Amino acid sequence: MLLTGIARLGRDCELRYLPDGTPVANLALAYNYGAKDAAGKRAAQWVDGAIFGKRAEALKPYLLKGTAVGVTLSDPHIETFTRKDGTRGEKLVARVIDLEFAGGNATAPASSAPAPATPPAASPAAGGISFVDDFSDVPF
């Protein structure tokens, strides 16, 4: 089963490594649903998501608390666990198979690496087509 929706990250991404060295990024995803209550807040369903492999390492600097992401989850299921006080709990977990930034807080920390160069536009006179457009006059 696949689930798709927009969620916000409840905390910064946590990166860890499996014994075989595979990177895993753990995400706390909050999905709002239902009508707002008297205080103007909506209920949230929390899902523990995981991204595996090189994508986990590459996305870690961008997966910050409060960031809105469009997520496709695979194999959502409920896991039971035992808390430190001995009581049992349940949580909804899934594997993240697709992730897109939907706005809000998707900024990486400052880097010392130079920004990538913009590819040069092809010259229409040379028969090429320019795919680099100037959108500075768009009102939104």
Task: List Cβ neighbours of 84 (8 Å cut-off, separation of 6 or more).
Answer: none
Domain 2-105 classification at class level: mainly beta
Mean pLDDT along residues 80-101? 95
E-assigned strand segments in 20-129: 23-33, 43-52, 68-82, 88-103
Mean pLDDT along residues 39-53? 93
Calpha distance 23→45 (Å, rounded)? 26
94 has pLDDT over 90: yes
- Print burial letters for 60-81: b (CB count within 10 Å at least 16), e (below 16): bebbbeebebebebeeeeeeee
Q: Are 7 and 68 in contact (CB under 8 A)?
A: yes
Task: List Cβ neighbours of 105 (8 Å cut-off, separation of 6 or more).
Answer: 64, 65, 66, 67, 68
The 10s digit of each residue's pLDDT in 55-79 is 999 999 999 999 999 999 999 999 9
Task: Label residue 106 exposed, middle or buried (CB < 10 Å: 0-12, 13-18, 19+).
Answer: middle
Q: What is the pLDDT of residue 76?
A: 93
Residue 59's H or E segment, with its range, is helix 54-59
Q: What is the pLDDT of residue 107?
A: 52
- Give me the chain's average pLDDT, please: 82
Domain ranges of the chain: 2-105
